């Protein structure tokens, strides 16, 4: 008995217990269209399929509201063996939670019953009726049937309600997370900048921000937290709160600022949670960018003359280590230079052949559109990435474009 089927009813797709279910029951009728109207209009069945095939003719199938059983309505050729079976089906049984109610409902619609509902020795209620061709059906109900139907109905209702609540909560989370991204852009004289985040799901773990650090300084931030969905979104909110709460010391003590952010992120998240982060402080007077790259994709700085600088890592990711340090680097910007910060939703976007968008395509786009404003460049890059990966967005797309102007 090692391979005996489980009593739990679970379907196994292996060779010991292959998948098996009833497809349909054939009901032979004289006129498919006329019978279709009986089963749909009078019994309340649903049309499952209505197809025409050269070899088999019209295949018509209906099902009761739960869809678990299918009746194929077949009109056999005259003088065939099957033609003699019209009206001879006598053994199909339907179950309902209220036989009397169905009897009353269907009787008003013209269904021919053999007799009113009757009780049985086994404690049930039953009656019989015929379709238009004389095929006979038994309609039964019993307390345990009713209990089972009610249990299924409650389970279905609870599932629908849970799905509705989950969808509602996700929608609320999406709107809340949207407010975590910068709502205003601090004005600068020498920098034209813009950012966006297009999430792959309702919520995600990518993050970008523009921090007003005072004294004509702007904090450019982009990050990517570990995980997906709600978990990543919570990490993102945690990281954003830590950054903004500690940003008062970012101007004078940027390394201490990042150490404090790491310490809070480490203490308030699980041991496997982490985030990559790029933080840059732009000086509007000196056109200078002082930055720390904490394990993030290297932003690219396209110079006006076409040369390219990459702002590589100066430290490791945030959140994995209690004792954490990073170094700072600096880049001088000139009018016409373009800085682009991005997450892996850009570089790792896949086309139908499984090829990645990559950094080189991004750089080529920058070169082709170097004369555009930051917002137009941002839109152009997003459009090209979505065209490249047209069928499915696998990861959040987050991007900042900053152009040094005259």
DSSP state letters, 340-351? EEE-HHHHT-B-
Q: What is the pLDDT of residue 363?
A: 93
Buried b (16+ CB within 10 A) or exposed e, 170-183: beebeeebeebbee
Place of tokens 């032979």: 28
Examine the pLDDT at 231 and tell me if it is beyond 90.
no
Examine the pLDDT at 1 and tell me if it is beyond 90.
no
Q: What is the pLDDT of residue 177?
A: 65
Residues 366 and 307: beta-carbon distance below 8 Å: no
Q: Which helix (H) or strand (E) holds 163?
A: helix 143-178
Q: What is the pLDDT of residue 395?
A: 82
Q: What is the pLDDT of residue 144?
A: 67
Strand partners of residue 291:
280, 329
Lowest mean pLDDT among 67-76, 114-123, 126-135, 165-174: 165-174
- Confidence band (pLDDT; 50, 70, 90) for 13? very low
Q: Between these two residues, 365 and 142, which has the higher pLDDT value?
A: 365
Query: Is the sign of the CA dihedral 6, 11, 12, 18 positive or negative?
Result: positive
Tell me the mean pLDDT in the region 345-350: 90
Q: What is the pLDDT of residue 172?
A: 75
- pLDDT tens digits for 321-336? 989 999 999 999 999 9
- pLDDT tens digits for 126-171? 999 999 999 999 999 876 666 676 677 788 888 888 888 877 777 7
- Confidence band (pLDDT; 50, 70, 90) for 399? very high
pTM: 0.61
Tell me the mean pLDDT in the region 88-100: 89
Examine the pLDDT at 123 and tell me if it is beyond 50.
yes
Which token pair is 222?
């982009």
d(Cα 204, Cα 226) in Å, to the nearest integer?
Answer: 10
Pairing of strands 206-214, 397-404: unpaired
Q: What is the pLDDT of residue 143?
A: 65
* Interacting residues of 136 by C-beta distance below 8 A, sequence separation 6+: 89, 90, 92, 114, 128, 129, 130
Give the mean pLDDT of the chain.
87
- pLDDT tens digits for 370-383? 889 999 999 999 99
Examine the pLDDT at 85 and tell me if it is beyond 60.
yes
Q: What is the pLDDT of residue 228?
A: 80
Examine the pLDDT at 200 and tell me if it is beyond 80.
no
- Confidence band (pLDDT; 50, 70, 90) for 19? low
Examine the pLDDT at 14 and tell me if it is beyond 70.
no
Q: What is the pLDDT of residue 18?
A: 63
Examine the pLDDT at 17 and tell me if it is beyond 70.
no
- pLDDT tens digits for 300-324? 999 999 999 999 999 999 999 989 9
Q: What is the pLDDT of residue 155?
A: 84
Tell me the mean pLDDT in the region 388-394: 81
Domains contained in the chain, CATH given: 25-141 (3.10.180.10), 182-404 (3.60.40.10)
d(Cα 388, Cα 353) in Å, to the nearest integer?
Answer: 11
């Amino acid at each position: 008995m090692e391979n005996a089927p489980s009593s739990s009813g679970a379907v196994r797709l292996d060779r010991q217990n292959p998948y098996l279910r009833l497809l349909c029951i054939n009901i032979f009728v004289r006129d498919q269209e006329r019978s279709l109207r009986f089963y749909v209009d009078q019994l309340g069945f649903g049309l499952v399929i209505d197809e025409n095939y050269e070899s088999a003719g019209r295949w018509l199938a209906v099902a009761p509201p739960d869809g678990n059983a299918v009746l194929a309505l077949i009109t056999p050729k005259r003088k065939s063996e099957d033609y003699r079976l019209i009206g001879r089906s006598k053994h199909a049984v339907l179950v309902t939670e209220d036989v009397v109610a169905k009897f009353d409902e269907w009787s008003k619609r013209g269904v021919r019953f053999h007799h009113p509902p009757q009780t049985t020795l086994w404690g049930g209620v039953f009656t019989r009726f015929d379709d238009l061709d004389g095929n006979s059906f038994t309609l039964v109900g019993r307390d345990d049937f009713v209990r089972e139907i009610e249990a299924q109905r409650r389970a279905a209702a609870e599932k629908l309600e849970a799905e509705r609540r989950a969808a509602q909560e996700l929608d609320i989370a999406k709107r809340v997370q949207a407010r975590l991204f910068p709502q205003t852009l601090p004005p600068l004289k020498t920098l034209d900048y813009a950012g966006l985040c297009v999430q792959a799901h309702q919520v995600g773990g990518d993050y970008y921000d523009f921090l007003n650090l005072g004294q004509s300084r702007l904090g450019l931030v982009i990050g990517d937290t570990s995980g997906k969905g709600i978990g990543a979104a919570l990490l993102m909110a945690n990281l954003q709160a830590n950054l903004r709460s500690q940003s008062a010391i970012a101007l004078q003590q940027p390394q201490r600022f990042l150490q404090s952010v790491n310490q809070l992120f480490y203490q308030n998240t699980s041991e496997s949670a982490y985030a990559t982060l790029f933080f840059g402080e732009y000086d509007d007077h000196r056109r200078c960018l002082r930055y720390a790259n904490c394990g993030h994709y290297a932003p690219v700085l396209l110079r006006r003359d076409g040369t390219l600088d990459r702002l590589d890592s100066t430290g490791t990711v945030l959140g994995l280590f209690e004792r954490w340090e990073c170094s700072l680097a600096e880049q001088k910007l000139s009018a016409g230079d373009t800085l682009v910060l991005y997450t892996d939703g850009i570089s790792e976007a896949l086309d139908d052949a499984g090829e990645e968008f990559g950094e080189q395509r991004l750089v080529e786009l920058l070169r082709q559109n170097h004369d555009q404003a930051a917002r137009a460049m941002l839109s152009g890059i997003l459009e090209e990435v979505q065209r490249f990966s047209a069928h499915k967005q696998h990861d959040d797309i987050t991007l900042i474009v900053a152009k040094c102007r005259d």
